[in-house]
């Protein structure tokens, strides 16, 4: 094999290796209260409360933004988030956040964390 062919093969191998690493497979991971305390609280993350504005006003986790998953503007709101960075979601008990997580995944978000216990778990005294 000539030097040009070797160089072309090496270049192809390098490009292939980088392309495989840069394309992360989208995932939804269920997380618990301990994970939220460790990875979210006090950190610069995308934390989204998908409950209603009234529920949000009654209490929310850290600096969460409120994007109501049942609102017709929800898809437009999530488009303001960075799809390449982790997004942490929660609702009251896990149902709406699960639906929101699937919606985010379908819109191209790659790292989605769903706090399954939700605000009910967060605000409980345990």
Tell me the pLDDT tens digit for each residue of 102-125.
999 999 999 999 999 999 999 997
Cα 102 → chain centroid: 10
The secondary structure of 31-84 as a DSSP string is E-HHHHHHHTTTS--EEEE-S-HHHHHT--STT-EE--TTSTTHHHHHTTS-TT
Q: What are phi and psi of 84, to 5 degrees?
A: -90, -5
Average pLDDT of span 4-28: 63
Assess contact for 60 and 41: CB atoms under 8 A.
no
- CATH superfamily, region 25-123: Rhodanese-like domain (3.40.250.10)
Q: Which residues are catalytic?
A: 91
Predicted structure pTM score: 0.81
Rounded distance between C-alpha atoms, residue 91 and residue 99, angstroms:
10
Band the pLDDT of 24: cuts 50, 70, 90. confident
């Amino acid at each position: 094999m000539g030097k040009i062919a070797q160089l072309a093969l090496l270049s192809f191998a390098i490009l292939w290796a980088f392309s495989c690493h840069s394309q992360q497979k989208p995932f939804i991971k269920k997380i618990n209260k301990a994970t939220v305390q460790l990875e979210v609280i006090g950190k610069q993350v995308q934390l989204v409360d998908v409950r209603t504005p009234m529920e949000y006003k009654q209490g929310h986790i850290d600096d969460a933004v409120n994007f109501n998953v049942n609102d017709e503007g929800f898809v437009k709101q999530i488009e303001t988030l960075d799809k390449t960075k982790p997004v942490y979601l929660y609702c009251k008990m896990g149902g709406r956040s699960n639906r929101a997580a699937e919606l985010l995944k379908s819109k191209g978000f790659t790292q989605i964390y769903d706090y399954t216990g939700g605000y009910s778990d967060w605000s409980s005294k345990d």
